[in-house]
Amino acid sequence: MTTEIVYDGHDNTIDLLLKADGVACDLTDVTRMTLEVGDDTVDSDVSGSAFDWAPGVTGKLILALGDESLTVGIYRATLTVYDATNSDGIVWGTFKLIVR
């Protein structure tokens, strides 16, 4: 399992490459993303600056979570991706998230 670190109050980012069957996915049709971190959910509809899935590289997602006031700790973070076809979202996967 991948481990990523968030530094509360800082501008560090987490850069992910979203793949299906080993191929980077086109995120053009994505309308929303959420990241469940413990009891908190970071939602692109509420915190648009926390998610960037249009950085010019197919499948690349940049998470900027330093301003999201996440509680310090170690979590299993779950990413869910939404588009017009998948209005209930697709659980993309989980990763270990350390908030410092």
pLDDT at 1: 84
Q: CA–CA separation, 34 vs 88, rounded Å?
A: 11
91, 33 in Cβ contact below 8 A?
A: no
pLDDT tens sequence across 6-42? 999 999 999 999 999 999 999 999 999 999 999 999 9
95, 77 in Cβ contact below 8 A?
A: yes
Task: Provide the β-strand partners of residue 23.
Answer: 20
Report domain extents, the chain: 3-99
Second CATH level (architecture) for the domain 3-99: Sandwich (2.60)
pLDDT at 37: 98
